[in-house]
Structure 1
Amino acid sequence: MKITIEKRANKEGDKQNIRLVYWFGSYTDSQGKVKHNRKIEQLGQYLYTNPKTKTEKQHNKETLQLVEAIKAKRITEAASGQHGFTNATKTNASFYPFFAQIMETKKTNESSSNFKLWQACLIQLKRHHPDEKLTFEQITPDWLEGVRRFFETQAKTKSGNLISKGTASSYFNKVRAVVNAAYAKGIINRNPLAQVAGINPGKSERVYLTIEEVRALVKIECRYDVLKRGFLFSCLTGLRWSDINKLDWSEISQFDGVHRITFNQKKTGALQYLDITQQAFNLLGKSEKQGRVFQGLKYSAYMNMELLRWCMAAGIAKHVTFHAGRHTFAVSLLSNGADIYTVSKLLGHSEIKTTQIYADIIDSVRKDAMHRIPDIGL
């Protein structure tokens, strides 16, 4: 942070009001122009523009001495951490640039998913507070509460739906991480998070289909054949929409008598080898040497609506999204005796605890099945 003295002429032009300007670094706006972050402190002092008398000249001299003393005091206060300021090198970082610095540390060769979550969080945060001049001085408990409410009740996905509770929790945790990092580095001397609670992610319902429901979908016509093939392919392979959408014929080969997909997961960036069944291979259509397999597959509102309509036509009343295909694959394998470690590898999970949610579903299904045994009159 830098502090300068600024003189501003009054309307009459006979006097100059004096103020201190606190400079908190700079940033580049969307048009590529450099903008400066600053704060103004009015001192209630003035100088005569053209001092003529001895009294006016003495006034100007004493006033300038006073202002210089105030400036020196403010510099000392800033260095000692008073008023939320710290040393000059640290306070040069305003909030968004500092957020970006922390975000860059999350970019790794092994996984891009966490970095993309940080990017998505920053996009949502700027929708809530679009002013690029946001400084740490503005990061108060009230401001954080506003961000918290925005993530919980207003932030939306590309398709216009509110983000999930889990996503809201993840985004707010990233904001918390940035504020905590600023506190740890001494950029702020009081942590506003001490008064702000996090967002409880809760347990979101995993919608999946039974094998009978999948068979019913096979028999029903879908308006978009590529959507039908893509969704059923997900049910049989566990692939995410993003990986199915970018799947290229060059990634499909034969290995040891079976068809194999070798690809980098879109979400994690990790290389995965996935052997698929013949019926899954049949859903790919006419084999080509290269090019997108599921050409025409799009993430759009009308495709999502058609997926729901198709499911309803098959007698399925669940709120089915494309990701339900992945859930269906996992639950189907576990229900038929596959061990959780194998399922975790097939899904491309980096941690077994991520797959545990499906095991919990199976336990619930088994418990429900036990209570369906009819009364035998005992």
Structure 2
Amino acid sequence: MNCNISLFLDTRRSKDNSSYPLKLRVYNKFNKKVKLYSLNIDLTEKEYQTVWLNTSNKNLRGKNKELRLKLQAIETRANKEAEQMTVFDFAKFETKLFRKSSDKNSVKYHFQKAITQYLKESKVGTAESYKYTLKSLGEFSLNEKKCALDKLTFDTITVDWLNEYERFMLNKNKSITTISIYTRTLRVVFNNAIRESDISKDIYPFGTRKEGKYQISKTKKVKKALNSKQLKTLFDAEVMSEQEQLAKDFWFFSYACNGINFKDIALLKYSDIKNNSFTYFRAKTFGKSVEKTPITVYLNDFSKSVIEKYGSTNKNGYVFTIIQLKEDSTEQYKKVKNFTRLVNDYIKRIAKRYDLPNDISTYWARHSFASNSIRKGATMEFISEALNHSNLSVTKNYFAGFEDEAKKEFAKNILDF
């Protein structure tokens, strides 16, 4: 084991009754550091000698015997937690030592731990997704299994449990995509608990049907995009309010700027703009192990006009006033979400009047950029770089998700030399 653990009477300062605080002393052999943890137990030197140091004393009775058993349990648990760590880490040790013993097998505890970590990393969207998953699992557990979320443990979640949960969600008219997202999130939490040695991998319920495990359904995302004619119709559409004008302007700003995500639009700073282009890193890649690749977007007359029209007068911060520098990540997340919802609401109103697809959204701008770039002869390599895909195969899979109409049009025009 990479550390030494003992119970230590801290005699540096006595209390009014001549007692001293008993502490857990942990010595890390690797970095030679020592930490003392309060146990909220006070003993006199005589009590410490009698109850703890004099191990040969087999005649303890009453409170003294109960105290020795309590101290032995503390030391045993501390050693057990330390032994399970390949590399000793004080922070992880503290978390495991001072939690409730039942937390090891608690689904809610491990979800909340993950949520807290994501919030620390400013991954508010991911944290929200985990909250939705936990709420859904809790609803099923309580309503169908009569088990409160606080009592839900990992060993309860079997293959049968997951199959019942899937049927429960389908009966609530939830999509296969939603079920897949929630069960994948649960799988991550399972893996985290196994990696931290809190649960045994023997109870892991995920895998393939052939293995007798629960297999998460794979869903193929259909990339929906406007064709050239529809894009022209939307671009030329007359608006009936300032909100519709704003929605149309920002939708086409995303389209004109290589399908830039709306969160990245909000995070765009004036310092990112040089001459007739701007360079940024996708917020989606923050915190991931993948290499961060800068994306350069060249501005055309339209995108310049949007910046001129909606840009902040303060040139030291964000280009647009969707969010503010002084706001924390949670507040920024809410504002980006609300702004995206506003654009979606009003772009749908325009689409409805002009017989365009009524499920159009901000995502369609990115997909339309990719689809129409290919139609106009752009190479897969260009699209891959513009969309910041990790490799060319991702781009090919991305194009494979477009609707059949786009594929047919691409095939029809392939010989138009």
TM-score, scaled to structure 2? 0.54
Determine the structure 1 residue equivalent to 2:158.
140
Query: More strand by proportion, 1 or 2?
Result: 1
- SS of the residue aligned with 2:307? coil
Q: Is 1:201 aligned to 2:218, yes or no?
A: yes
Determine the structure 1 residue equivalent to 2:296.
274
- SS of the residue aligned with 1:323? helix
- Quick check: 351-360 or 329-338, which moved more? 351-360
CA shift in 2, pair 1:173/1:233, >3 Å = same
Letter in 1 for 2:263: S
**Residues in 2 aligned to 1:240 and 1:153: alpha-carbon distance in whole angstroms:** 33
Query: More helix by proportion, 1 or 2?
Result: 2
Q: Counterparts of 1:132-211 in structure 2 under 5 Å?
A: 132-149=150-167, 154=172, 165-179=176-190, 182=193, 185=197, 187-188=199-200, 189-193=202-206, 195-211=212-228
- Superposed displacement of residue 334, structure 1: 1.7
Q: What RMSD over aligned residues (CA atoms) do the two structures have, in Å? A: 4.0
CA shift in 2, pair 1:103/1:303, >3 Å = closer
- Superposed displacement of residue 91, structure 1: 6.2
CA shift in 2, pair 1:148/1:272, >3 Å = farther
Q: Deviations over 1:242-279 (max 9, x none)?
A: 222x1444244224xx222x334232225633222322
- Quick check: 231-240 or 291-300, which moved more? 291-300
Structure 2: where are the runs of 5+ without partners?
1-79, 81-99, 140-148, 287-291, 323-335
Q: Is 1:220 aligned to 2:220, yes or no?
A: no
Note if contact 1:331-1:362 (Cα within 8 Å) is conserved in structure 2. no
TM-score, scaled to structure 1? 0.58
**Residues in 2 aligned to 1:358 and 1:135: alpha-carbon distance in whole angstroms:** 38
CA shift in 2, pair 1:126/1:208, >3 Å = same
- SS of the residue aligned with 1:274? strand
- Superposed displacement of residue 207, structure 1: 1.2
CA shift in 2, pair 1:306/1:272, >3 Å = same
**Residues in 1 aligned to 2:261 and 2:410: alpha-carbon distance in whole angstroms:** 29
Note if contact 1:239-1:326 (Cα within 8 Å) is conserved in structure 2. yes
Letter in 2 for 1:218: F
**% identity of equivalent residues:** 23
Q: Is 1:265 aligned to 2:282, yes or no?
A: yes
Note if contact 1:95-1:135 (Cα within 8 Å) is conserved in structure 2. yes
Structure 1: where are the runs of 5+ without partners?
1-78, 80-88, 156-161, 374-378
Note if contact 1:331-1:358 (Cα within 8 Å) is conserved in structure 2. no
- Superposed displacement of residue 229, structure 1: 0.8
Q: Is 1:312 aligned to 2:352, yes or no?
A: yes
Q: Counterparts of 1:37-116 in structure 2 under 5 Å?
A: 92-93=103-104, 94-99=106-111, 116=125
- Superposed displacement of residue 239, structure 1: 0.7
CA shift in 2, pair 1:140/1:213, >3 Å = same
CA shift in 2, pair 1:266/1:369, >3 Å = closer
- Quick check: 228-237 or 329-338, which moved more? 329-338
**Residues in 1 aligned to 2:374 and 2:413: alpha-carbon distance in whole angstroms:** 20
Note if contact 2:155-2:203 (Cα within 8 Å) is conserved in structure 1. no
Q: Counterparts of 1:203-352 in structure 2 under 5 Å?
A: 203-222=220-239, 223=241, 224=243, 225-237=245-257, 238-244=259-265, 246-255=266-275, 258-260=276-278, 262-269=279-286, 270=292, 272-278=294-300, 279-286=302-309, 287=311, 288=313, 289-295=315-321, 298-299=338-339, 303-352=343-392
Determine the structure 2 residue equivalent to 1:120.
129
Q: Deviations over 1:95-138 (max 9, x none)?
A: 233345677898999xx87x954651343223430623422343
Letter in 1 for 2:256: L
- SS of the residue aligned with 1:315? coil
Letter in 2 for 1:139: I
Q: Counterparts of 1:359-370 in structure 2 under 5 Å?
A: 359-360=399-400, 361=402, 365-368=406-409
Q: How many residues align?
A: 273
- Superposed displacement of residue 368, structure 1: 4.9
Letter in 1 for 2:253: F
**Residues in 2 aligned to 1:363 and 1:349: alpha-carbon distance in whole angstroms:** 22
Q: Is 1:356 aligned to 2:396, yes or no?
A: yes
Letter in 1 for 2:110: F
Note if contact 2:347-2:361 (Cα within 8 Å) is conserved in structure 1. yes
**Residues in 2 aligned to 1:281 and 1:318: alpha-carbon distance in whole angstroms:** 28
**Residues in 2 aligned to 1:363 and 1:140: alpha-carbon distance in whole angstroms:** 39
